[in-house]
Amino acid sequence: AYLGKASALHDTGKIDLAAIWYKNLIKVFPESTLVSRAYYALGDIYAAQADYANAFDNFRLSYEASDEENAKVGSALRMADVRMLEKDYKAATELYDIVLKKYSESQMVDYAQCQLGVALYQMKNYRGSILSLQSMMLNFPDSSLLAEAEYQLGLAYFKIGDYDKARLEFSKVLNSKDK
């Protein structure tokens, strides 16, 4: 009942009330398997409010409370995403790398690989970014993130002065939009 009420409030934009219900669920039923989902939802709420410290803590608690691999991967990725929002790219790369190593069979690995490339780019490690994005494109040729990876790859090539490869990647992005 607590999670349903909290989710309904969350869905209707009553974020403050939803947060109270999520916190009550955690307090009243600390051993429940739903606690992980409550922490995750609180992480989303705090991230939307740009309260990144609380967002990160709640995604971490969600990760720790979950026994399900997909939930752990989702929480770990959100922790990394929060670090990206904070512009702490080094911490983000470490978290994306953990997902890639520990959960290599996850359906969300393409996202982690792509975001690792973006974080490396932000750190001005353009060659590392290129390697990460090429790996993502090679290993996940049907990923919904392919156009994003091609675009980021084009940016990285441009930064190292390889304008022909940059042009090629940008043209792939433009051609994929036509399909």
With a cut of 70, say whether residue 177 has pLDDT above it: no
* 153-176 average pLDDT score: 95
User: Which structure tokens are listed for 142?
Assistant: 């049907």
Return the pLDDT at 175.
Answer: 86
Residues 16, 21, 27, 33, CA torsion sign: negative
Q: How far apart are the first and last CA of the chain?
A: 45
Q: Return the closest-CA partner of residue 35 out of 66, 11, 12, 14.
A: 66
| Confidence grade of residue 1 (pLDDT, cut at 50, 70, 90) | confident
Following CA atoms 105, 149, 93, 52 in sequence, which dihedral angle do they give, to the nearest 10 degrees? -100
